[in-house]
Amino acid sequence: MDLKQAERLLQADRSYVWHPFTQMKDYAERDPILIEKAEGVFLYDAYGQRYYDTNSSWWVNVHGHAHPRIREAINRQLGQMDHVMFAGLTHSPGIELAEQLVKLTPPGLDRVFYSDNGSTSVEVALKMSFQYWQQSDRPDKTKFVYVDSSYHGDTLGAVSVGGTDQFFSVFRPLLFDAYSVPSPDPRLAPGGDAETAAQQALEAVRTLFEEKAGELAAIIIEPLLQAAGGMIMYAPSYLTRLRELCTAYNVHLIADEVAVGFGRTGRLFACEHAGITPDFMCLSKGLTAGVLPLAVTMTTSGVFDAFYDDYPKLKTFTHGHSFTGNPVSCAVALESLRIMEDEHVLERTVESAAFLKTQMTRFQSLDGPANVRSLGMVGAFDLFRSRDAGTRYSFDERIGFRVYLEGLKEGLFLRPLGDTIYYWLPLCTTRAHIEDIVDRTLRVLQAVR
């Protein structure tokens, strides 16, 4: 792109666009990066500068950008049929994807309800669980439980069960009441012990269930990794025992795998690390390899059956969106699953993840990074002023933002969460790339000190 064209576009961006999760005033001093091309693990801006896409374009990308088979799948589907409605009509990509997802997800998740973004897949789970109890002679089971530091999306229902208050406190009057339980965050236990933290957190769940199960519809969790809350990685035993508690107390378990699904943790689904089947599973982000919007809420035959009745009984699940089951998105999701298999993506991810884990230890040689951790293709640490002295940066210092700016100079597109610096790498990131990313990040950390 010539420079004049780039300048004109950025000027128009400033005049007409409102970006998500962005204090637009930040752009008064510094434009967003005008990306012209994305290929593999790289983004290229209009000025020819190359950046590693270290957060997989907001946690969605799976096989790298511009995968030829994905492009091919889009063209093939568009040649056949663009979009048609999904009530009264059905189509092969929607049917086949549902069939595949039922096969691949933990046993017992037998039904697939389509929507088009992660927040909405959560809304659907909440509404289904609520309506299930209404139609199962348990009308008192109306309340939800969420875990501190969790994030389930931006729509009001999803925010009501979110535990990252700092983002959303302004909306408090619009939200419904829900119960919260502590996070199994290992940092909350003495010595940072993950098992102890899980145990503590489960005790609180047990106490709440003992007292209130009669009014509880469901508990919603992010399996194994609380992502937006600060890349908190916790013990799989939490999931195993939480599943037992939910069964014992007759409370639905909603697993929000919107972020972690499709291989990011080294297994196709994070629930597999604990061998559990939730009552609802929400999937989006990686579902279409991070290329087109699509989401699903999966559930059990038991839940489905409570809605299945003669029309006049009014048990229909009355929810749906214009773009429900978009055929192009479904075709891409199917192709992504085929790529997973044909290219042995999970096997390779396990190897890359092991390499990432060893590379992450390099950060321990500096005094800033604390709680260095990784799970699958996600690596993170909390940036302290001094880890050894236990001193943190103040909010005003915007250390995360400074890391972002220095990262750009090093050809890294990093987007820290507060003081938590993290990678959320495409599954195709090679060893050489991982090592290079860590080298560059170490230089970034030297520069911001």
What's the length of the chain? 449
Which parts of 82-141 interact with ligand PLP (CB under 6 A)? 117-119, 122
Contacts 24+ apart (CB under 8 A), 79-87: 80/327, 81/327, 82/327, 82/328, 83/323, 83/326, 83/327, 83/328, 84/327, 85/324, 86/114, 86/320, 86/324, 86/325, 87/320, 87/324
Taking the least distance from each CB to ligand PLP, the nearer of 146 and 209 is 146
Instruction: Classify 380 as helix, strand or coil.
Output: strand
What residues does 57 pair with on adjacent strands? Answer: none
3-state secondary structure of 446: helix
Does position 252 bind ligand PLP by CB under 6 A? no
User: How far from the centroid of its chain's Cα atoms is residue 271's Cα?
Assistant: 14
Closest alpha carbon to 323 in 74, 76, 84: 84
How many chain residues bind ligand PLP (CB under 6 A)?
Answer: 14
- Binding to ligand PLP in span 267-286, by CB under 6 A: 284
Does residue 61 interact with ligand PLP by CB under 6 A?
A: no
Going by C-alpha positions, the residue among 239, 243, 245, 246 that lies closest to residue 265 is 239
Closer CB to ligand PLP, 167 or 393, in the complex: 167
Closer to ligand PLP by Cβ: residue 54 or 135: 54
Q: Is 230 in the site for ligand PLP (CB under 6 A)?
A: no
Closer Cβ to ligand PLP, 118 or 416, answer by number = 118
Where does this chain touch ligand PLP (CB under 6 A) — which range of 34-42, 85-93, 125-133, 147-155? 147-155
Closest distance of CB 274 from ligand PLP, Å = 17
Helix (H), strand (E) counts: the chain: 15, 16
Q: Tokens at residue 67, please?
A: 């995968």
**Strand, coil or helix: what is 133?**
helix
Per CB under 6 A, the list member of 153, 223, 327, 379 interacting with ligand PLP is 153
162 binds ligand PLP (CB under 6 A): no
Q: Is 378 in the site for ligand PLP (CB under 6 A)?
A: no
CA distances 429 to 228, 267, 357, 373, Å, are 22, 16, 14, 18
Please report whether residue 324 would count as binding ligand PLP according to CB under 6 A.
no
In whole angstroms, the minimum distance from the beta carbon of 116 to ligand PLP comes to 8
Q: Which is nearer to ligand PLP, 258 or 428 (CB)?
A: 258
Which residue in the shown chain puts its C-beta closest to ligand PLP? 118
Minimum distance from residue 228 beta carbon to ligand PLP (Å):
6
Q: Cβ of residue 226: shortest distance to ligand PLP, in angstroms?
A: 8
Strands annotated E in 105-233: 111-115, 143-147, 179-181, 216-221, 225-226, 232-233
- Print the binding letters for residues 210-229 with ligand PLP: x by CB under 6 A, - otherwise: ------------x----xx-
Residues at the contact surface with ligand PLP, assessed by CB under 6 A = 117-119, 122, 151-153, 222, 227-228, 256, 258-259, 284
